[in-house]
Amino acid sequence: MGGSRLPEELYSNTSAELIATELQIPVELLKLSAEGLVEELRTHPGDPLELSAAETLVHSAEKMRRIVQALLDALQAEQP
C-alpha cells in the first residue's frame, strides 16, 4: 500500500464498521487492504486468479460494510 497512513478511526474499537469477530477488524480496513492488494497485483501481474480473488474480496468487503451499516442504523432507529 505504499506506506500510506490509514485514518486513526480505522484502528479504534469504536469504529462504526467494526465486525464483531474475534479479530475485531473494521470492514473498511479489510476493504482498504484488499484494494491495496488489487493495486499491487495489477502493477506486478502474476496469476490472474489471484487478481480475481482480490477483486472479489474488495466487493465482498464493500457489501459487508453496507450490511453492517444497515444493521447499525436499524439498531439506532430502535433506540428511544
- Summarised one tens digit per residue, pLDDT across range 1-36 is 444 454 555 555 444 445 545 556 777 888 888 899
Write phi, then psi, for 25 (nearest 5 degrees). Answer: -95, 120
The overall average pLDDT reported for the chain is 74
How far is residue 13's CA from residue 46's CA, in Å, rounded to a whole number? 36
Cα angle 43, 46, 44 (rounded to 5 degrees) comes to 20
Confidence of residue 39 (pLDDT cuts 50, 70, 90): very high
* pLDDT tier for residue 67 given thresholds of 50, 70 and 90: confident
Q: What is the DSSP code (8-state) at residue 68?
A: H
Residue 43 confidence (pLDDT): 92
pTM attached to this predicted model: 0.59
